[in-house]
Amino acid sequence: MSRSSRSSRAAIGFLAPFGVLFALFFVAPIGYAVYQSLFTVERSGPLGLGGAHTVFAGLSNYSRALADAQFTASLGRVLLFGVVQVPVMIIGATLLALLLESASARGIRFFRTAFFLPYGVPGVVASILWGFLYVPGISPIVSLAHGAGWQVDFLSSGTVLWSIANIATWQFTGYNMLVLIAQLKSVPGDLYEAATIDGANAWQVVWHIKLPMLRPALVLTTVFTIIGTLQLFSEPLVLKPLTGNINGSYTPNLNAYTEAFQNNNYNLAAAEAVLLALVACVLSFGFLKIVGRREKP
């Protein structure tokens, strides 16, 4: 009896410091955002000069956000972005991991470090860097292309989304590759050996052994990438001054930021933040559900 009470007191002691901060800075903000999203500021008098007071608004901030064509367009934009960029990056990371772990690879340390380096470049700095490489006048890529008679414009309305996708891919492919390599290394080497002895060729080893082994790591990296995609913010914010094709509501996050700090409509911004968290939950849990179902035959 005294043992178990000592044990549970110790457990509380170890969990409490993290628990308190988690409650304050993770749970409470969500609760506060939900609370804020249910109110609205009403201004009275002519031109709203008679003073402002907060009134309960029910779900009207949510219906306003969802009826706002700019906000729904921004959601659609990041979804389109994700449908293309997430597979491209995960497949790219898988390819690089398999190549580096194949028996034919040379200079592994150099290549692995080179691929991983961009992860150490902060998102805004990566955006500034690529911004310079996109802008005509500074960009050597644009001037090389023009020299070859190819009129590229990385910042046109049709291309700018994919220019942003390139920044995200550049930054995170190497990181995802490293997670996948770690998973590959956890596979006992005799397994490959046995398969090769049994006459499996390189493709069969990849297809029947390595890829199924990579599955958990692939699920993990995909979920984190989906969450990261929905949060897209610093890239469009940094590129915004360089092109007229990015506005203040280009992504859901940018939209919420503009709503809060330029239009001072914190309540609507809170509703948008809650909607974004909901979409993130639905997509990541949905993805986990789908792969979880396929796991059981």
Partner 1 sequence: MTAVVDRPATVQSGQTRRHAGTPAVRYRILVTALLAVAAVYFLVPVYWLVVSMTKSSSGLFGSFGFWFADPHPIDNLRAVLTYDHGTYLRWFANSVLYALVGGVVATLLAAAAGYGLAKFSFRGREAVFNVVLAGVLIPGTALALPLYLMFAKVGMSNTYWSVLLPSMVSPFGVYLCRIYATAAVPDGLLEAARIDGASELGIFRRIVLRIMSPALVTVFLFQFVAIWNNFFLPLVMLSDSKLYPITLGLTSWFGYTDRQPVLYQYTVGGAFLSVLPLMVLMVVLQRYWRTGLTEGSVKA
Q: Which residues contact 26 (CB under 8 A, 6 or more apart)?
A: none
User: Binding to partner 1 by residue 200, rule CB under 8 A?
Assistant: yes
What's the min distance (Å) between Cβ of 46 and partner 1? 29
User: Binding to partner 1 by residue 170, rule CB under 8 A?
Assistant: yes
Return the residues of window 203-222 that contact partner 1 according to CB under 8 A: 204, 216-217, 219-220
Return the residues of window 258-287 that contact partner 1 according to CB under 8 A: 260-261, 266, 269-270, 273-274, 276-277, 280-281, 284-285
Tell me, residue by residue from 55 to 94, as one string, x for binding to partner 1 by CB under 8 A and - for no binding.
----------------------------------------
What's the min distance (Å) between Cβ of 45 and partner 1? 26
Give the DSSP per-residue string, the chain.
-HHHHHHHHHHHHHHHHHHHHHIIIIIHHHHHHHHHHTEEEEE-SGGGTT-EEEEE-TTHHHHHHHH-HHHHHHHHHHHHHHHHHHHHHHHHHHHHHHHHTSTT--SHHHHHHHHHGGGGS-HHHHHHHHHHHHSTTT-HHHHHHHHTT----TTSTTTHHHHHHHHHHHHHHHHHHHHHHHHHHTS-HHHHHHHHHTT--HHHHIIIIIHHHHHHHHHHHHHHHHHHHHT--HHHHHHGGG-TT--TTSSHHHHHHHHHHTS--HHHHHHHHHHHHHHHHHHHHHHHHHHHHHH--
Based on CB atoms, which residue is closest to partner 1, 234 or 243? 234
Choose the stretch contacting partner 1; rule: CB under 8 A; options: 22-30, 46-54, 57-65, 70-78. Answer: 22-30
Choose the stretch contacting partner 1; rule: CB under 8 A; options: 46-54, 61-69, 82-90, 197-205. Answer: 197-205
Based on CB atoms, which residue is closest to partner 1, 55 or 103? 103
What's the min distance (Å) between Cβ of 110 and partner 1? 8
Q: Of these, 52, 84, 99, 211, which contacts partner 1 (CB under 8 A)?
A: 99
Based on CB atoms, which residue is closest to partner 1, 42 or 295? 295
Choose the stretch contacting partner 1; rule: CB under 8 A; options: 59-67, 81-89, 108-116, 154-162. Answer: 108-116
Tell me, residue by residue from 216 to 255, as one string, x for binding to partner 1 by CB under 8 A and - for no binding.
xx-xx--x---x--xx-xx--xx--x-----------x--
Q: Of these, 52, 83, 117, 290, which contacts partner 1 (CB under 8 A)?
A: 117
Torsion of CA 21, 26, 31, 33, to 10 degrees: 120
Q: Of these, 50, 58, 76, 120, which contacts partner 1 (CB under 8 A)?
A: 120
The count of C-alpha atoms lying within 13 angstroms of the C-alpha of 170, restricted to the half-sphere facing its C-beta, is: 17
